[in-house]
Chain A
Amino acid sequence: MSKQTVLNATHRALGAKMVDFGGWDMPISYGSQIEEHHAVRRDAGMFDVSHMTVVDLEGERVRDFLRRLVANSVDRLKTPGKALYTCMLNADGGVIDDLIIYSRADGAFRLVVNAATRDKDLAWITREAAPFAVQVRERPELAIIAVQGPNARAKVQGLLSPELAAKAAKIGKFVACEGDGLFIGRTGYTGEDGYEIIVPQERAVELWNRLQAAGVAPAGLGARDTLRLEAGMNLYGQDMDETVSPYEAALAWTVALDEGRDFTGRAALERQKAAGVPRAMIGLVMDEKGVLRHGQRVVTANGDGEILSGTFSPTLGKAIAFARVPAGDPGAVQVDIRGKLIPVRVVSFPFVRDGKPCDGV
């Protein structure tokens, strides 16, 4: 029996097509997935992401704990409200999960981790936290609604109390504020501006309905996937997992090898860096018609790799993908689609930012 978010009946009443996602019964689309995608790029859309796991951390040594737990440096969070994207690694440098860490006013921290990895994440975090006497508290009573798009912030602010609206209007990107029982982060997974709103479950349906009345389009996990791939953002389980280091998943920017910080996996990453990272994650665009998909073989000058995330990009009107390939200049790259080798271009990503194709894509 799959789990349901508090918005499940709301999705069904809107006619959503539901699918199993990491053990949760979630909307993949409410009608046209492509229209939902465009709504986020051009105006404002919202996603129920209540399946994701909110974990609150408290304790005197919580900062020390986070310095050890994750590969990015929590010391970058100098003021309350700041957020950090990072990976949590095992001793071999493999990615256990990717997550966002928010600092909060009272020295506490809030983590948001993936739904499909909830059990192993909680077990790992709880075990690692014990020596630091840090309290780990899952918050299943909280729902999350991500409101994304060029008009998303204004539409959300219009529904808040004047005090909270003023706070929410002021926060910069990757910063959160709190008030009236809501936790509002200027974060997201679409490459557009917007908020992710953590709201008590019993208020989530009302918030959703008010957002819809304000012209925010419900969007499903299908559009979420095409939006995040256009935005060059990784999906755990598809683009990286415990057998892949952040260096092999284009996440070097999230690794802080700062002086004297002994985070789990650091020694393995330093060994890998010294010896040479064997594989790289690259971005691909296909100018021919067709769709790049997970698992397709990628032929490069240095040997074969494979497509990780691949999709049709509604903004570009052509297929885009991440691929993991042997390190080094890949030369002319081709993808094996049903036995035919189709030429593709290697491009840097994001593919799309703020609604527009990036240069060279």
Chain B
Amino acid sequence: MNEIPGDLKFMKSHEWARVEDDGTVTVGISDHAQGLLGDLVYVELPNVGDTLEVGAGCAVVESVKAASDVYAPVAGEVIKVNSALSDKPETINEDAYGDGWILVVRPTNLQEDMENLLDPDAYAEQLDNEDD
């Protein structure tokens, strides 16, 4: 299993969020989640300018096997989407925490939203329990 980067926080539903130096938040799905889904073949991205509520669907990732909603870990406005995923959705399989990022949010309630997410240790513990 890949090392989980320490600067990420997670939702129970396997999305990650990273606060960037400029105060924006990058969002993706975890390496564990891409492994569960298998080969990704399509990513439906939101529009730049969309407003997100915490826990609302903000993207859809589809593997050969299944379609899965991606939920917003923080509230805010979508300011950037990873349009390279349209042609290369498998980037998420290859690099879930890096080039496989999905969107960037300008958060409206950053501190509280981030506090409600799991830190890497808590997320790793959740994964251990899922394996049992």
Contacts and interface: CB of A to CB of B under 8 A. Distances in A.
B94 to A, nearest CB: 11
Main secondary structure of the interface of A (DSSP, over half): mixed
B64 A314 contact: yes
Contacts of A291: 41-42, 62, 64, 67
B13 interface: no
B64 A312 contact: yes
A289 B67 CA distance: 13
Interface in A38-56: none
Interface residues of A, number: 16
A287 B10 CA distance: 35
A188 to B, nearest CB: 20
Contact of A293 (B38, B39, B67, B86): B67
A224 to B, nearest CB: 12
Contacts of A311: 64
A135 interface: no
Contacts of A238: none
Contacts of B44: 290, 338
Contacts of B64: 33-34, 222, 226, 291, 311-312, 314
Interface string A16-46: 0100000000001100111000000000000
Main secondary structure of the interface of B (DSSP, over half): strand
B12 interface: no
Nearest to A312: B41
A32 B86 contact: no
A311 B41 CA distance: 10
Interface residues of B, number: 11
B42 A34 contact: no
Contact of A34 (B39, B60, B67, B86): B39
Given A312-B41, A338-B60, A33 B86 contact: no
Contacts of A226: 64
A184 to B, nearest CB: 30
Given A33-B38, A312-B41, A222 B62 contact: no
Interface string A284-306: 00000111010000000000000
B65 A28 contact: yes
Contacts of A338: 44, 60
A33 B64 CA distance: 8
Interface string B44-70: 100000000000000010101101000
A332 B25 CA distance: 43
Interface in B64-93: 64-65, 67, 86
Interface in A308-353: 311-312, 314, 338
Contacts of A290: 42, 44, 62
Contacts of A312: 41-42, 62, 64
A226 B39 CA distance: 13
A312 B67 CA distance: 11
Nearest to B41: A312
B38 A222 contact: yes
Interface in A2-18: 17
Nearest to B38: A33
Contacts of B67: 291, 293
Contacts of A222: 38, 64-65
Nearest to B86: A289
B131 to A, nearest CB: 13
A29 B38 contact: yes
Interface of A: 17, 28-29, 32-34, 222, 226, 289-291, 293, 311-312, 314, 338
Interface of B: 38-39, 41-42, 44, 60, 62, 64-65, 67, 86
Given A33-B39, A34-B39, A312-B41, 5 more contacts: A17-B38, A33-B38, A34-B41, A222-B64, A290-B42
6 contacts: A222-B38, A222-B64, A291-B64, A311-B64, A312-B42, A314-B64
